[in-house]
Structure 1
Amino acid sequence: MKFGYREICLEHDTGSRHPESPDRLRAIRQTLEDSEDVTYVAAEAASEAEVRDVHDEAYVESVRQFCANGGGNWDADTVAVEATWDAAMASAGLAAWAAEAALDGANGAQTPFALGRPPGHHAVGDDAMGFCFVNNVAVAAERALTERDVDRVAILDWDVHHGNGTQDIFYDRGDVYYASIHEEGLYPGTGDISETGEGPGEGTTLNVPFPPGCGDADYRSVFDVIVEPEFEAFDPDLLLVSAGFDAHEQDPISRMLVSTGGYGMLTERLATLADRIDAPLAFVLEGGYGLETLSAGVREVQDVLSGKDPEPVEGDPGEDGRNVRDALIYQGFGAQ
């Protein structure tokens, strides 16, 4: 794969006890060392104008000034140092690069994956939260819509936490379809099935709030029956993935049961869908806080896109997973 990466992202220092640490990127790179299909691209940082396209101008200036003054605790979870501003701009630029590279034809083993931090999907239009300052995938989607021949973008967020920021930014727009599969009740507490968009965006927000304990078969079922037909009907010109790996069965801060092979299954299905609907595919790193499971998940995505067959997912979805899927069908989502 082509991985977007900038050393400045390591300088966003959250402290020795914070789960979102520079070691996340170091672990990923170490795991990818022996792969022959890996190249790294040091893409340019996003511009302030691009960030203001998805965030309020006053908020952007307040973050820039907060970092220039040395940073500190924006809130209980979201920490900055002086270098955080440059890291956040670099991370957003890497996400935008991934979208651009996909639109320029990078696919298969060369599918772009932005390895930036801080992550982005919790950053709302006018505030930082949940370790996130700039909504990277939103910057990427907006650049594609503004600067390329792109009319519609679909975003699948498989991070275990609901991407409230991405939903917030695009909630009333019909040109971005945001779909999130996440753990019900986990931070930030948003992402209910009833949240489906408003105004021109009505019907272009899809939330799949799985109860704790759901795993590969539940994800496979909801992707096949709900997400895939929704995206196919939306007919996007670009498909972006907010790729967090914290739904892994061994991640320290969630209670979901997705295996490393489960991420491979989702990747294979996404690649097949992207090819069928002629929508370039790109990945943007979000969460994942077990270093081994995070790096194994990224490696699994890379291996599957380089030609590895994912492990078959055995069994049927559990009762909890079926109930969520069927509730979405009842609301009119998915294959009818």
Structure 2
Amino acid sequence: MQFGYSEACLDHDTGARHPETADRLRAIRQQLARRHGVEYVDADPASVDAVTAVHDNDYVDEFREFCTDGGGNWDADTVASEGTWKAALASAGLAQWAAERALAGDDGRETPFSIGRPPGHHAVEADAMGFCFFNNAGVAAQHALDDGGADRVAIFDWDVHHGNGTQDIFYDRGDVFYASIHEQGLFPGTGDVNEIGTGAGERTTLNVPLRSGAGDADYLLAFERTVGPALDRFDPDLLLVSAGFDAHRHDPISRMRVSTEGYACLTEQVRETADAVDAGLGFVLEGGYGLDTLSESIATVHETFDGRAPVEDDDGHADATEDLIDEVRSAHGLE
């Protein structure tokens, strides 16, 4: 794979005890150093105009001034430093790069993966939250629609937390499809099945809120029977994956049971779907806070594109997942 990376993302200083630290990127690079076929690209940062295409101008100005004044706690969980402004622009720019390369036809071993920080999927139009300041995937999707030649963009979010910001930004839009598989009831408390979009965006938002303890089989079945068919119907030109790895069974801040190999299997499903609808495919880093599990999971995504065949485990899915899938399919007319 090609990995978008910028040293500027290391300058976002969240402090010693915060789970979202620069060590995440260092651990990823250290793990990838053991693999072959890894290429790094330092893309241009996003412009302010690109960011304000999805974010409120006053919010962006306020955030810039906040960082210029030295930063601090934006809210109880979301911390900025003086370097966060440039880091956030760099992270959004890396996501734009992933979208551009995917639309240009880079696939297989050249599939783009943006490993920027801060993450983005909780950032709403006019506010930061949940460690996120700019909605990286949202900026990239809008950039693809405005300048990249895409008519329809899909974002699939497999982070353990629901991407409320991405959903909100595109909730009434018919040209962006947002799908999320996440842990029910976890921060930020959004992402119910009945949140399907409104107006021109009706049925372009799809949520699968799995119960705590869901594992590989639950995720794979949920994608196979809900996200995959909905993507096929939407027929996007570009598919971006908001790739958080905090649903891993050993991640410190979730209760899900996805394995490292499970991410490889999910990657294979995503790749097959992108191929079937002839969409460019790119990945954008979101969460994942166990350094070993985060870096190993990204390495296994890379190896999947490098030719390694994933192996599903023998554990079955929960009965509750079947019921949830039926509810989602009904809400989206997939029956």
Query: TM class, shorter-chain normalised?
Result: over 0.9
**2:282 is aligned with 1:282:** yes
Q: CA RMSD in A?
A: 0.8
**SS across alignment from 1:307:** coil
Determine if contact 1:214/1:257 at 8 Å carries over to the other structure: yes
Deviation of residue 328 (structure 1)?
1.1
How much does 1:331 deviate?
A: 2.1
- Does residue 17 (structure 1) correspond to residue 17 (structure 2)? The answer is yes
1:151 is aligned to 151
Q: CA deviation at 1:272?
A: 1.0
1:242 corresponds to which letter in structure 2?
S
1:233 is aligned to 2:233: yes
Identity %: 61
User: What is aligned with 1:257?
Assistant: 257
Residue in structure 2 matched with residue 38 of structure 1 by the alignment: 38
Unaligned ranges ≥5, structure 1? none
Equivalence for 1:306: 306
Residues in 2 aligned to 1:303 and 1:36: alpha-carbon distance in whole angstroms: 9
SS, match of residue 268 in structure 1: helix
User: Are the equivalent residues in 1 in contact too, given 2:14–2:79 (CA < 8 A)?
Assistant: yes
Matched-pair contact (CA < 8 Å) for 2:203–2:332: no
Query: What SS is found at the alignment partner of 2:179?
Result: strand
C-alpha distance in 2 between matches for 1:118 and 1:321: 32
Distance in 1, Cα, partners of 2:81 & 2:260: 33
2:78 paired residue number: 78
Please name the residue that 1:179 is paired with. Answer: 179
Equivalent position of 1:220 in the other structure: 220
The one-letter code of the counterpart of 2:116 is G
Per-residue CA deviations over 1:79-130 (Å, capped at 9, x if unaligned) read 0000000000000000000000111111011100000000000000000000
Name the counterpart of 2:28.
28
Cα distance in structure 2, aligned partners of 1:186 and 1:229: 26
* TM-score of the aligned structures, taking structure 1 as reference length: 0.98
Distance across 2 between alignment mates of 1:297 and 1:83: 28
Number of the residue aligned with 2:57? 57
The CA distance in 1 between the partners of 2:156 and 2:4, in whole Å, is 19
In the alignment, residue 237 of structure 1 is paired with which amino acid? Answer: D
Q: Report the more deviating stretch, 102-111 or 128-137.
A: 102-111
> Matches of 1:332 and 1:28 in 2, distance apart?
37
- Deviations along 1:278-299, one digit per CA (max 9) or x if unpaired, are 1010000000000000001100
Normalised by the length of structure 2, the TM-score is 0.99
- Following superposition of structure 1 onto structure 2, how do residues 268-279 of structure 1 map, counting pairs within 5 Å? 268-279=268-279
Deviation at 1:168, TM superposition (A): 0.5
Q: Please report how far the alpha carbon of residue 333 of structure 1 lies from its aligned counterpart in structure 2 after TM superposition.
A: 4.5
Rounded Cα–Cα distance in structure 2 between residues aligned with 1:276 and 1:11:
40
Q: Deviation of residue 314 (structure 1)? A: 2.3
Q: Which residue of 1 aligns with 2:6?
A: 6
The answer as to whether partners of 2:125 and 2:169 remain within 8 angstroms in 1 is yes
Q: Secondary structure at the match of 2:188?
A: coil
Whichever residue aligns with residue 41 of structure 1, its letter is V
